[in-house]
Structure 1
Amino acid sequence: MRIELVGGMGVGKTTLCRVLEEIGYNCIYEDLGENPFLARMYEDIESYKFPSQIWFILSKFSEIQMQIKRGHVNVLDQAMDNYKAYARMLFNNGSDPRGFKIVTDFFDYTEERFGLPDLLVHLQVSPETQLKRVRSRRRTFENEVTLEYLQDLKRELDGVVEESKAKGVNIIEIDTEEIFLPEHHLFAAELAENIEKRLNFCINPITKKAV
């Protein structure tokens, strides 16, 4: 079973994933620091958007292939829909149509190989709040992130989530504008209960497997 968390920067994806891990979910985290192109991309988008996106897609492919545990509830803190949204935003000026086609073909192949997620948890926060949270975590490579960038990303994310919904993917929408997830374990527990009802399973407290 595969659950993916989708949402913009600073919405609480990784934090929520950590709390769900404490409940017994098998959580798979993306390490942004491993992408050798990411910091340079924020400084020079046109030169580094293609290698950065290819790195992310191949990394996600490897995560799903190597870290998914059969019989367990697997949660990816970065949904494939996140990468689709970033790609559309970065390539929307039409400057590299061949590069965009290659990236899109990778998305299509990954979806064909592994199928759609069983559930998307869509975390939403206003771009203004996202910017405050991004600034507060003080990641050097995020210094170039602007409000306009986050607004564009939100627009693309809303679009790809609607496409997933049209494909029949289960989606839970959550507004984390007023929720500080590290201090809301009860909220995470309620979300886990909602997920289990939606997908009709429960977690064995001993084996941590879905039954």
Structure 2
Amino acid sequence: MNQPPFIAVEGPIGAGKTTLSTMLSQELGLPILKEIVEENPFLGKFYENIDEWSFQLEMFFLCNRYKQLEDTGIQYIANNQPVISDYHIYKNMIFAQRTLKGVKREKYRQIYHLLTDDLPKPDVIVYIRASLDTLLRRIAKRQRSFEQGMDTAYLEQLILDYDEAMAAIAEREPDTTIITIDGDTIDFVENREQFDEIATRLKELIHERIQHT
């Protein structure tokens, strides 16, 4: 039996996840789960010294996302309510596998699976794929102070990590629908027609699943 979808918007830093998920939430009338970013007290220190502060940073994100999905996400899903999120819980592993090493990486992996294996996972992913130039331009535009000194090599590697992660999800979760958006050519903020195309695709998916519930 199909269930109303749990939709996640994903992509590397600066892709526009929160902007698109907020626009879709308003257009589709869906509740939205937004991750905590700027409230993370380790962000500034992380970008100054990734090796020193990555474990603290990733644990803060993991615990907050876990708590949000446990408290809010499950309630919507249990009530057959479609919901949209500006993250997929698996993003924790995308970042941790890049920033953590050795014993810390293994400890984190164990904690991640302990917390998340029984959480609901999105069955629709809107993946915003964008080049380094596009991401850097959007990061500069939003003017978050802690992001301005970001290592471009780190961001470039993150683009590749996201591509690999989406391919892995598609392989191990064949029932998950992944809608890939070319962030270099599609401007869902300035081009209403392009945004409407994304929203229409999701409306169709929601309708199909509700019809078969």
TM-score, with length taken from structure 1: 0.86
Distance 2:151 2:141 in 1: 14
Identity of aligned residues (%): 23
Identify if the C-alpha distance between structure 1 residues 40 and 156 changes in structure 2 by more than 3 Å, giving closer, same or farther.
Answer: same
Partner deviation per Cα, 1:13-32 (whole Å, 9 max, x = no partner): 11111111112121111121
Distance 2:9 2:111 in 1: 20
Unaligned stretches of 5+ residues in structure 1: 204-209
Distance 1:195 1:109 in 2: 31
Alpha-carbon distance, 1:163 to partner? 1.1
Backbone CA RMSD of aligned residues: 2.1
Contact 2:21 2:86 in 1 (8 A): yes
2:24 aligned with 1:20: yes
2:104 is aligned to 99
Contact 1:128 1:147 in 2 (8 A): no
Alpha-carbon distance, 1:202 to partner? 5.8
Moved more, 159-168 or 108-117: 108-117
Unaligned stretches of 5+ residues in structure 2: none
User: 1:182 is matched by which residue type in structure 2?
Assistant: V
Identify if the C-alpha distance between structure 1 residues 190 and 82 changes in structure 2 by more than 3 Å, giving closer, same or farther.
Answer: same
Alpha-carbon distance, 1:182 to partner? 2.2
Moved more, 153-162 or 78-87: 78-87
**Alignment partner for residue 197 of structure 1, among 181, 187, 204?**
204
Distance 2:191 2:152 in 1: 27
2:95 aligned with 1:86: yes
1:206 is aligned to none
Contact 1:40 1:48 in 2 (8 A): yes
2:101 aligned with 1:117: no
Alpha-carbon distance, 1:131 to partner? 0.9
Partner deviation per Cα, 1:99-132 (whole Å, 9 max, x = no partner): 1112212332344211432111111110121112
TM-score, with length taken from structure 2: 0.85
Contact 2:7 2:83 in 1 (8 A): yes
1:64 is aligned to 69
User: 1:5 is matched by which residue type in structure 2?
Assistant: V
Kindly report which structure 2 residues correspond to 1:181-192, keeping only aligned pairs within 5 A, or say none: 181-192=188-199
